[in-house]
Amino acid sequence: MSPPRRAIVRTLTAAAALVALTANAACGGDAAAGGAPTNELRYQGSVGQVTLPELAADLGYLGDVKLKWIGNVTGGPQDIQATATGQSDFGGAFNGAIVKLATANAPITAVVSYYGSDAQTFQGYYVLDDSPVRNPRDLVGKKVGMNTLGAHAEAVLKTWLARGGLTPAEIKQVELVALPPVNTEQSLRQKQIDVAVLGGVIRDKAVAGGGIRTIFTDYELLGAFSGGTYVFRDDFIKRNPETVKAFVTGVAKAIEWARSQPRETVVARMRDIIAKRGRNEDPSLVAYWKSSGVAGRGGVIGEQEFGTWIDWLAAEGELRGDRPKPGDIYTNRFNPFVDGGGA
């Protein structure tokens, strides 16, 4: 995947806004306060969906590590913000957002991939069947709804627009609207937005409802890739290396379990998890699950999955000082699948 030089100027502004927050992270909670070692991990979940750590816990892959749900996430930048400020112990986001935050000296490290795009699971950009929007230039002056700004959906969109020949000034005329994923389809059908960014089970459910068509997908644009990783604060890793290792191992094994099982088996397991956790959710979304989209075996992080965004941001003048190395931002040392290994 090779995003062009002109693709983003403001894509990751939301991540940049986190930098000031990390300055006070030391007083943000137990995870950031240098407390005693722990095997309990506070995290944010997703409404009507099952995260890989939740699947790993239900499969018994986390060992003695326990998960403590503290609420639901609204987007990747918000999730890593919660981790950086000590409100949660781990969070996940688009790798480009993690690069932006890490290069501002935020004390976080990515440890395992958790989502991506492949032929089965991807983010698509959808319009109503009768929409006049068909190519990049048609989006000038239009509204695009996505789960969060400054992350994956915005980066991919601006890559597509730039490759379509739009100038930076024209790209700025495409209005981006942040919407909860569960509301994005409805906003499109009610014509409150012109384009909806839909991914995973939410996308599949919307497509099954008919009346919409895709203008492009991130998989068509960039090929198969892992797009986001889970991060921990560095002080948490230093204090709890065995807990982090158990977490990464469990998530890695859950990725491979889901990859190897019949889809019906995975869906049934997810339905059971939602029923048992008692959060008053609609379980219908999981029926559309197809894959995690993670490219590397066991969520092993590839250097290019961060190197791509480092090069891109540097070319755009978004990185100050020396260009970081991917190895400064992520580690595979806790993953048993690295170098062809297995759990």
Q: What pLDDT does 34 receive? A: 53
Residue 215 pLDDT > 50 = yes
Residue 249 pLDDT > 90 = yes
Q: What pLDDT does 32 receive? A: 42
Q: Which amino acid is at 316?
A: E
Q: What pLDDT does 4 receive? A: 36
Residue 293 pLDDT > 60 = yes
- Across residues 185-192, what is the average pLDDT? 97
Q: Select from 81, 17, 70, 77 the least CA-distant residue to 44.
A: 70
- Across residues 147-153, what is the average pLDDT? 82
Backbone dihedral region for residue 165 (phi beyond 0: left; psi -120 to 50: alpha; all else: beta): left
CA distance 176 to 156: 13
Residue 185 pLDDT > 90 = yes
- Across residues 191-217, what is the average pLDDT? 93
Residue 26 pLDDT > 60 = no
Q: Select from 325, 337, 336, 102 the least CA-distant residue to 232.
A: 102
Q: What pLDDT does 255 receive? A: 97
Confidence of residue 184 (pLDDT cuts 50, 70, 90): very high
pLDDT cut 70: percent of the chain above it: 88
Q: What pLDDT does 23 receive? A: 40
- Across residues 232-246, what is the average pLDDT? 97
For residues 12 and 172, the model is more confident at: 172
Burial class (CB in 10 A: 0-12, 13-18, 19+), 264: exposed
Confidence of residue 96 (pLDDT cuts 50, 70, 90): confident
Q: What pLDDT does 343 receive? A: 62
Q: Which amino acid is at 148?
A: T
CA distance 83 to 95: 15
Q: Poorest-confidence range of 4-8, 160-164, 182-186, 280-284?
A: 4-8
Q: What pLDDT does 315 receive? A: 64
CA distance 270 to 260: 15
- Across residues 21-26, what is the average pLDDT? 42
CA distance 141 to 95: 28
CA Rg value for the chain? 19
Confidence of residue 211 (pLDDT cuts 50, 70, 90): very high
CA distance 329 to 95: 10
Q: Poorest-confidence range of 1-15, 49-63, 145-159, 313-327?
A: 1-15
Reduce the secondary structure of the chain to three states and give it as a string. CCCCCCCCCCCCHHHHCCHHHHCCHHHCCHHHCCCCCCCEEEEEECCCCCCHHHHHHHCCCCCCCEEEEEEECCCHHHHHHHHHCCCCCEEEEEHHHHHHHHCCCCCEEEEEEEEEECCCCCEEEEEECCCCCCCHHHHCCCEEEECCCCCHHHHHHHHHHHHCCCCHHHHCCCEEEECCHHHHHHHHHCCCCCEEEEEHHHHHHHHHCCCEEEEEEHHHHHCCEEEEEEEEEHHHHHHCHHHHHHHHHHHHHHHHHHHHCCHHHHHHHHHHHHHHHCCCCCHHHHHHCCCCCCCCHHHCCCCHHHHHHHHHHHHCCCCCCCCCCHHHCECCCCCCCHHHCCC
CA distance 10 to 172: 9
Do the Cβ atoms of 37 and 235 come closer than 8 Å? no
Task: Give the pTM.
Answer: 0.78
CA distance 264 to 98: 34
Q: Quick count: other Cβ atoms within 10 Å of Cβ 59?
A: 15
Phi, psi of 10 (to 5 degrees): -115, 10
Q: What pLDDT does 104 receive? A: 79
Q: Quick count: other Cβ atoms within 10 Å of Cβ 191?
A: 10
For residues 127 and 30, the model is more confident at: 127
